[in-house]
Amino acid sequence: MNKVRLTILATVAMLIAACASSPSTPKAPAAPKAPNLAGDWVLTISSQMGAQDQQMSVQQNGNQISGNISGAQGTVPYTGTVNGNNVAFSFTVEFGGNSFKIDQVGTVEPDGSMKGKAVFGQFGEGTFTAKRK
Position 122 scores a pLDDT of: 84
Position 101 scores a pLDDT of: 93
List of residues 6+ apart from 31 with CB closer than 8 A: 83, 84
Position 18 scores a pLDDT of: 44
| Backbone φ, ψ for residue 122 (5° rounding) | -80, 0
Say if residue 54 is exposed, middle or buried (CB neighbours under 10 Å; 0-12, 13-18, 19+): buried
> Cα dihedral angle (109, 111, 113, 118), rounded to 10 degrees?
-30
List of residues 6+ apart from 6 with CB closer than 8 A: none
Q: Are strands 125-132 and 74-83 parallel, antiparallel or unpaired?
A: unpaired
Q: Which of the residues in the chain have pLDDT under 70?
A: 1-32
Q: Which fold has domain 39-132?
A: Lipocalin (2.40.128)
DSSP class of residue 112 equals S
Query: 68 near 76, Cβ under 8 Å?
Result: yes
